Amino acid sequence: MAEINFPSNFQIVLFLTGFFLVFILVLYLLRNKKIFNRKLKEYTLPTKFYFSGAAIAVFLQYLTMSLPESARIGQLLWELMIVLSVITLVKKYKFNLKNIAFLSILYALWIHGAKCALRYFIYGNYDVLYKTARYIAGRFVYGSILAIALAIGTFFALSLIEETSKKQKDARKIAKIVVWLILIGVILLVSVVIYGKVK
């Protein structure tokens, strides 16, 4: 059985760096465009370090694909960056659900756009599977649903925490908070397991 070659680390780094630079340029050009009553820069400037962390996570996942544990750490890292971004924007800037939904779409394009583009344009030169629409669409949809679920789940957890702190000792609301936090934790753990199986 012939051994399948994969791209070098140099190719991966070069492609991902180019992708993220183009994405940043597009965000810069559209920085004053309003989406749900917020300028695009209001989404990205307060969270720039988290977006950077998510980009590092993507590099980590692809530069350490031979080490499943490192790749899973990369997965958890970008998921954590989404959660921290939502916390920052909701607590400091009073973002609403629509704003957070749009933020999750930005993250899906930032993270999974990079991953799918890398697989199609670089990995696809080594294995035709990566050039099939079904494979690319499946990977993008899976990752995007995860990003959206994390962002919206975090938003609802924060909303419930805020309501509970105002009314205190409301057992039902506390129970809902616990359920949302458990749900977010389960999403994170399941995603890591699925990532290990669906490459």
Strand, coil or helix: what is 37?
Answer: coil
At residue 12, what is the residue type? I
Confidence check: pLDDT of 195 > 60: no
> 3-27: per-residue pLDDT in tens?
557 899 999 999 999 999 999 999 9
For residue 19, the number of C-alpha atoms closer than 13 Å in the C-beta half-sphere is: 24
What does the pLDDT read at residue 122?
94
Provide the token pair at 79: 């998921």
What does the pLDDT read at residue 1?
39
What is the average pLDDT score of the chain? 86
At residue 23, what is the residue type? F
Handedness of CA 160, 161, 164, 165 (dihedral sign): negative
Q: What is the Cα Rg of the chain in Å? A: 18
| Rounded-to-integer distance, Cα 132 and Cα 15, Å | 19
> Diameter of the chain by CA atoms?
66
What does the pLDDT read at residue 2?
45
What is the number of other CB atoms lying within 10 angstroms of the CB of residue 142?
A: 15
Q: What are the residue ranges spanned by the domains of the chain?
A: 9-197
Q: Are 184 and 153 in contact (CB under 8 A)?
A: yes
What does the pLDDT read at residue 64?
82
pTM (two decimals)? 0.84
CB neighbour list of residue 34: distance below 8 Å, 6 or more residues apart: 40
> 93-134: per-residue pLDDT in tens?
999 999 999 999 999 999 999 999 999 999 999 888 888 888
What does the pLDDT read at residue 164?
67
Provide the token pair at 41: 């820069």
Tell me the angle at which helices 171-197 and 133-167 cross, rounded to the nearest 10 degrees: 160
Strand, coil or helix: what is 38?
Answer: strand
Q: Are 140 and 118 in contact (CB under 8 A)?
A: no
> 31-79: per-residue pLDDT in tens?
999 999 999 999 999 999 999 999 999 999 898 877 777 778 888 899 9
> 128-181: per-residue pLDDT in tens?
888 888 889 888 988 898 899 899 988 988 887 777 666 655 666 666 667 777
What does the pLDDT read at residue 168?
58
